[in-house]
Structure 1
């Protein structure tokens, strides 16, 4: 059974930092996030990991003795990140502190308070599930970063088009102004193309891209991708929980007795009239990952247009509002 799924808050996927870490260190950090998420220790916000486990992730054998591993964690304590937690703009460090126990050979790593809050409230603020075992096959740091960006928007077995500006991708990949990869030619050759090649080969996703030029310069990248990786998991059976709405959705009526992935009362809480439930779930099948945004979009629509519920008359306005509110869009930290 694969129990190494990190329900990574979208804010952390979109986080920007003041310093870069290596590909191996990024895998270690995601592992710590997942351990913290399943441990749920609100007192110490801790994630425990053995020295052997860290050494298994840090591939450079010349830099994985005990003192080197301490330096890696101390570097995490010095890397500052900025991300969004709902409507709040947060500044934090990757790690707050660590304790190494000589008797057990175990590191106890404590997360920053707001990082821990994001991990515990992922279902409210929006998240994207990451299969850590699979992603560890990837060698590249930028592979992991761009894969996360695509997982924000993916739907299981569906082809999606998503456009990001080049500057946004650079920010998320921790490529700083004036550095070698800041030049688009180098960025394309050393970051974008190798990352997409590795995603296609190792991460259960097929992705292509198109360059979008404005004023004779490439300013945006359109990704066209199909994600074959599940977004919902049954951990007891280690298989995908398939939502019924992906097949023949237009002909399916959503009722109180419908499948678990569609909560009838949950939709009513958002003031969504039953007449648009089917269309809403078709447009936003993973709406529970963006519940705060759905609530806000509903409130904004009713405030602007009046009425008591979201219905066929105001649905277009509501849909556009929600698309502009989903956390993965707003990255201006």
Structure 2
């Protein structure tokens, strides 16, 4: 059992299932999910030491050791729902939990009904390191983290959620009915935890219908510093690929992010990688050139342009000059959107939101 184990779920499962689990129950489920292997054809009983699980959570109070059977017993009772078109599927998380006295071991097995959402996933799934959620204190943090993580690659860089739908996903329809209380007790603590502990963070914009806040816009950002998962290399995967190809792709995206001093989201890193046809050395070379320029408005857009037009560093010892000392087009405010392919269709456009300021709550 390792905090660097990978949790993998289908995006559909994340965005269409409603459940209410305690923080301990969520961490147990996600730890168990991280033990599922890509080559597994079906769920099998997964054994682990209770002491290892307690240590993984960073819990020093050994009283938690005796509480694990209570946690699994409650989990066995909890049924949640997944909506598929006109069908509602009711599923229990676990099919069995077995303890052998005197061994300190527990054997858990997922319900087989969960297989389509957690195993042999080739398209539209999200994966992340277990370390991202282990130290969280709010029961809502892991759930919101997953919702944002599976939307990290959206071309517009944000996700809008109807407030009522978010409450439903969190099973918090009747929790803090006043939005001000919901924001203060749920959203703001989650925002702080994600920024401190995970590989992503978010800014929040409130959308009103009349005078009432009805929708929330989460602007998702890469959290490159000040978190406990600096080596995160797992993101939402769209499109079919083999496990080997998938692993290679996420590793390359992580490498691109590590080159830049600026924070990049997954889409930006992937766009740069695609432009360079996967050649990390070219990305390093062009970033080194761009990083010495003055008055660069868009680093991402300029690096992409530098790769496409093969910018060359000045010869000799001369210091790199201003932006316009290079043979290149004048900066266009929509340059980065065009280079990233965001102007291909109405649905893909960044829109004015991309160029406007972001409210950081």
Q: TM-score range by the shorter chain?
A: 0.5 to 0.7
- Relative to structure 1, the CA distance from residue 220 to residue 3 in structure 2 (aligned partners, 3 Å threshold; closer, same or farther) is same
1:240 aligned to 2:251? yes
- Relative to structure 1, the CA distance from residue 237 to residue 146 in structure 2 (aligned partners, 3 Å threshold; closer, same or farther) is same
TM-superposition CA deviations, 1:109-148 (whole Å, max 9, x none):
1111111332113324x21112111321322221211111
- 2:196 corresponds in structure 1 to 201
- For residues 48 and 283 of structure 1, the distance between their equivalents in structure 2, rounded to whole angstroms, comes to 47
1:205-216 equivalence runs, <5 A: 205-216=200-211
- 1:120 corresponds in structure 2 to 119
TM-score normalised to structure 2 length: 0.60
- For residues 210 and 251 of structure 2, the distance between their equivalents in structure 1, rounded to whole angstroms, comes to 45
Contact 1:81 1:91 in 2 (8 A): yes
- For residues 103 and 63 of structure 1, the distance between their equivalents in structure 2, rounded to whole angstroms, comes to 16
- 1:4 corresponds in structure 2 to 5
What are the ranges of 5 or more consecutive residues in structure 1 without an aligned counterpart?
A: 255-281, 285-314, 321-333
1:166 aligned to 2:163? yes
1:187 aligned to 2:212? no
- Relative to structure 1, the CA distance from residue 60 to residue 8 in structure 2 (aligned partners, 3 Å threshold; closer, same or farther) is farther
1:196-275 equivalence runs, <5 A: 196-228=191-223, 229-231=232-234, 240-242=251-253, 246-247=271-272
- 1:305 corresponds in structure 2 to none
1:74 aligned to 2:85? no
- For residues 206 and 197 of structure 1, the distance between their equivalents in structure 2, rounded to whole angstroms, comes to 8
What are the ranges of 5 or more consecutive residues in structure 2 without an aligned counterpart?
A: 224-231, 236-242, 257-268, 279-339, 349-361
Contact 1:15 1:172 in 2 (8 A): yes
TM-superposition CA deviations, 1:158-207 (whole Å, max 9, x none):
87121111111111222133x4x233121111001111121122212231
- For residues 2 and 71 of structure 1, the distance between their equivalents in structure 2, rounded to whole angstroms, comes to 23
- For residues 69 and 162 of structure 2, the distance between their equivalents in structure 1, rounded to whole angstroms, comes to 37
Contact 1:159 1:225 in 2 (8 A): no
- For residues 39 and 45 of structure 2, the distance between their equivalents in structure 1, rounded to whole angstroms, comes to 7
- 1:46 corresponds in structure 2 to 45
Give 1:84 deviation, angstroms.
4.8
Give 1:154 deviation, angstroms.
0.6
- For residues 134 and 164 of structure 1, the distance between their equivalents in structure 2, rounded to whole angstroms, comes to 23
- Relative to structure 1, the CA distance from residue 206 to residue 171 in structure 2 (aligned partners, 3 Å threshold; closer, same or farther) is same
Contact 1:143 1:195 in 2 (8 A): yes
- Stretch of structure 1 that moved more, 102-111 or 137-146: 102-111
- 1:99 corresponds in structure 2 to 98
- Relative to structure 1, the CA distance from residue 32 to residue 182 in structure 2 (aligned partners, 3 Å threshold; closer, same or farther) is farther
- 2:352 corresponds in structure 1 to none
- 1:14 corresponds in structure 2 to 15
Contact 2:149 2:200 in 1 (8 A): no
- Relative to structure 1, the CA distance from residue 112 to residue 87 in structure 2 (aligned partners, 3 Å threshold; closer, same or farther) is farther
Give 1:248 deviation, angstroms.
7.7
- Relative to structure 1, the CA distance from residue 85 to residue 36 in structure 2 (aligned partners, 3 Å threshold; closer, same or farther) is farther
**How many pairs align?**
256
TM-score normalised to structure 1 length: 0.64
SS in 1 for 2:152: coil
- 1:108 corresponds in structure 2 to 107
Between structure 1 and structure 2, the one with the greater Rg is 2
Q: Which has the higher contact order (CA 8 A, sep 6+)?
A: 1
- Stretch of structure 1 that moved more, 53-62 or 223-232: 53-62
